[in-house]
Structure 1
């Protein structure tokens, strides 16, 4: 199940993630978010950490990486602004965001699957 999620994570790197509402020509792709997303925790956006943990969830048979994917999924539901030196800019989500969210959801869903497998 997590291998499917990792495949979606890789695909989302090459898809457009968001566009700015005031400047629709400004489109960010998944690899842009991967490059600058580590700064997200500075503005309480922890979803980027899921990019690091999701591949680990496929290899490590523990619930912690899957739990972090669940937190990343929930936190990313509230991502509507991008901060820069000019303030916050409102964005609209594009297909890459939804593919990435699906990958995080599958990673979080595998938490329950792992629980059933252990019983």
Structure 2
């Protein structure tokens, strides 16, 4: 018999573009999306700060995330193509207050 890890019930989902960051919380069982918000990237110093702001704003605590970014993912450090944000994939989860296994390359 194989062991499977339980699916977390909710996760942060995000689409990070050059001008705006779009966030929502997804129910991973029903695939329903809630708490959709859009923020200007220029209003936050970093992606981690924007994530913390969003989660605080909607009153959610999640340990997992799926994030789409406007940038090539060639190495650990990601520099957005049309925005000044850059981040380390390996450090982002901790900086944003998410679980350590939130981001998978």
Question: Which structure carries more relative contact order (alpha carbon 8 Å, separation 6+)?
Answer: 1
TM-score between both structures, scaled by the size of structure 2? 0.29
TM-score between both structures, scaled by the size of structure 1? 0.27
Larger helix percent? 1
Q: Which has the larger radius of gyration?
A: 1
Larger strand percent? 2
